[in-house]
Amino acid sequence: MRKYLPVLIFFINLLLLGKIQVVAQTPPKTIKLGTFSPPPTRTPTRTPTKTPTRTPTSVVPTITGQIPTSSATDSPEPTNSDDGGGNNGGDPADCAKIGLSMYVPQPRFLESTTLCEQGTIWPPYLPSFVPSNLTNLDNALGGQFWVRTNSIKIKSGITGNLASFLEYMEKQPGCTVFVGYGYRSYAEQEGLWYGNDCPTNPGCGVAPPGKSSHQAGIALDLFCAEMIGSDINLKVVPAAAITNAKNFDFIHPVSWDTPHFIGL
């Protein structure tokens, strides 16, 4: 027996090594937490008291006659203008087809599909679908926040509330907001899907093409970030941002997908 003991130990070690390698190759649940490189187009200056510049979405008409007055303490609610979109409140039957309940309330600017539990949309989008009223995110935010690229787009209807939400996040200790993603086309989603071996790895953390709320133009991936050399080190957003997202008309539908928010 002692004669074969070294051989037995060798095969046991080989088996354990194989298991360790498999574990090491298993990606985390969310592939978005990591490091982005190259660095963004600009590095923001931390100014906790700054107020984002609002860009009007429509021309204010001339008012004739008596103009009503309001007290100096009035704080008007933010208004979001978006001439297109809307799914008429969604359809519970859509979600029932995949064994889920419809999310309530439905996002106001979600088009041609229904938002279900777990952040899932159904029916899926076709490759040709592009949401209406997309706007350049960096321009809409007045260049006040750190975005991955200046080409990110988002539905114009959610930009007002988004600016307030990002401002709130930046007031949390140790967070410089970084917007990683907004609208993603079917082709971009498909690239992420195959690039992370999702067809053979259901836990890859990426929605299949056509089934992502990013294609709807109402979803964003938000992080706290810091520059380390030429790289951007991404961190999870503060717990307060997730807890209070609904106060800014945003939801955080998937607990493990920390960066993912959807505008209502």
Q: Tokens 């505008």, residue? A: 263
User: In the prediction, which pLDDT does 231 show?
Assistant: 77
State the pTM of this model: 0.71
The rounded distance, in Å, linking the Cα atoms of 226 and 10 is 45
The rounded distance, in Å, linking the Cα atoms of 222 and 215 is 16
Mean pLDDT, the chain, integer = 77
* Tens-digit pLDDT profile for residues 213-238: 999 999 999 999 887 777 778 899 99
- Measured in residues, the chain has a length of 264
The rounded distance, in Å, linking the Cα atoms of 261 and 238 is 13
The rounded distance, in Å, linking the Cα atoms of 223 and 221 is 7
User: In the prediction, which pLDDT does 64 show?
Assistant: 33
* Tens-digit pLDDT profile for residues 3-26: 555 555 555 454 444 433 333 333
Contact 79, 58 (CB under 8 A): no
In one-letter notation, the amino acid at residue 153 is: K
Beta carbons within 8 Å of 10's beta carbon, 6+ residues apart: none
Task: Calculate mean pLDDT across residues 175-179.
Answer: 92
* Tens-digit pLDDT profile for residues 112-125: 999 999 899 999 99
* Tens-digit pLDDT profile for residues 47-83: 433 444 444 433 333 333 332 333 333 333 333 444 4
Whether the per-residue pLDDT at 92 is higher than 90: the answer is yes
Q: Tokens 């203008």, residue? A: 81
The rounded distance, in Å, linking the Cα atoms of 244 and 248 is 7
User: In the prediction, which pLDDT does 6 show?
Assistant: 56
User: In the prediction, which pLDDT does 26 show?
Assistant: 33
* pLDDT band for position 103 (cuts 50, 70, 90): very high
* Tens-digit pLDDT profile for residues 129-172: 999 999 999 999 999 999 988 899 999 999 999 999 999 999 99
In whole angstroms, how large is the CA radius of gyration of the chain? 23
The rounded distance, in Å, linking the Cα atoms of 170 and 48 is 7
Whether the per-residue pLDDT at 209 is higher than 60: the answer is yes
The rounded distance, in Å, linking the Cα atoms of 33 and 39 is 15
Domains of the chain from N-terminus onward: 125-264 (3.30.1380.10)
Task: Calculate mean pLDDT across residues 185-194.
Answer: 95
